[in-house]
Structure 1
């Protein structure tokens, strides 16, 4: 499996408030970004996998709504997170 417990804890520790803080907006956005990058790589090899494509579109929508929420709450944290993760917009 591409996302182990250790990798997930590492993502939340780096972007969240701690490795057990799975509810922070920044941590969830970072996790979604990791999953989106993985699915994008999968779809480059499997163009006809439409179920994965649908999952990818849903994940991008979820991440976008969380990013919009973060931009409304704290624009400085939003800009820092966008810069760190390399997300466009």
Structure 2
């Protein structure tokens, strides 16, 4: 099985675990889980001099950060569930 096929299976299992309803495939919870899976995969195969992939990785991290900020603001329970299941840390952006 190739790496792409493994990633597709992993994304499907993550989607099934984080979906709220049976037809849910695009809620913020699911998007955060899928982005985290993609980020972990890309971080393991990234080379030091691969600038273009690094830029894509940084864009995914920023998108995940925005989605987590949205979840924190609107649905605290989903936010806490995502943090605990994905092993992420809570880092609020306070501007003093």
Per the normalisation by structure 2, the TM-score is 0.80
Cα distance in 1, alignment partners of residues 10 and 22 from structure 2: 10
d(CA) in 2 for partners of 1:42, 1:18 = 33
RMSD: 1.6
Given candidates 16, 21, 24, the residue that maps to 1:21 is 24
Say if 1:15 and 1:27, in contact at 8 Å, map to a contact too. Answer: yes
Deviation at 1:9, TM superposition (A): 2.2
Matched, 1:42 2:45: yes
Paired position in structure 2 for 1:53: 54
By relative contact order (CA 8 Å, sep 6+), the higher-ranking structure is 2
Bigger radius of gyration among the two = 2
Conservation of the 8 A alpha-carbon contact between 2:11 and 2:37:
no
Structure 1 stretches of 5 or more lacking a match?
none
TM-score by length of 1: 0.86
Give the paired residue count: 86
Gaps of 5+ in 2: 91-96
